[in-house]
Amino acid sequence: MTPATGRGRAPQTDMDAAEVVRLVSGLAGAGVATWLMGGWAIDALIGRQRRRHDDLDVLVRAVDLDRAAAVLGTAGYAGEVGVQGASYLVDEAGRQVDVHAVALRSDGFGVYRMEDGTDWVYEPGAFGGTGTVLGRQLPCLTPETMMLEHATGYELDDVHRADVAALAKAFGLAVPHGSLDARPSS
């Protein structure tokens, strides 16, 4: 039986920095190209953990999905992985890893197939970020890519508005118009 996933899952344990390093190191050791994305990427890019994290979002090459699932399974995470949308894997404590598969093209672009079937296209260079978690350098999406991902496409809650503001301040990035003003619908 696959454990419950998502916000409000039970059991639920936040994703801590030591687990982030353990998982990303395990994936890298197995030859799985992995990039942090989401809240942990923002904190890693800034160089310090600013808040608690419900999960860990990682982007992996679609060709590495089976290997990534095996590594995460060995690390105690269960769930199905697929090439469309995010795949949610959870361990017995309720820590969650959201795996996003990207197809890298020969021209440097990356294509992520979203749950609704549309494609999010990553520009060449989007995968060139480096962040720090517990003194360990980890590959991330770039600050510019993280700003674009966080500030467009959906309404931000207070946590994600703070992420956008932190990225803007740390890297001198412009915040897309209205991103910090929009309130999530209830």
pLDDT at 13: 95
Query: Residue for token digits 């799985």?
Result: 32
Domain 17-141 in CATH 2.40.10.340: no
Q: Record the pTM.
A: 0.92
Q: How far apart are CA 103 and CA 106, in angstroms?
A: 10
CB 100 within 8 A of CB 122: no
pLDDT in 10s for each residue of the chain, 186 residues? 556 888 889 999 999 999 999 999 999 999 999 999 999 999 999 999 999 999 999 999 999 999 999 999 999 999 999 988 899 999 999 999 999 999 999 999 999 999 999 999 999 999 999 999 999 999 999 999 999 988 776 678 899 899 999 999 999 999 876 666 544 333
pLDDT at 184: 38
Report long-range pairs for 69-75 (Cβ below 8 Å, ≥24 apart): 69/99, 70/30, 71/26, 71/27, 71/30, 71/32, 72/23, 72/26, 72/27, 72/97, 72/99, 74/26, 75/22, 75/23, 75/26
pLDDT at 151: 77
Q: How far apart are CA 113 and CA 136, in angstroms?
A: 30
Please give the sequence-ordered ranges of beta strands (E in DSSP) within 47-117, or none if there are none. Answer: 55-61, 86-90, 96-104, 110-113
Cα distances (angstroms) measured from residue 184 to each of 51, 117, 157, 159, 181: 20, 23, 6, 11, 10
- The distance in angstroms from the start CA to the end CA of the chain is 32
pLDDT at 8: 85
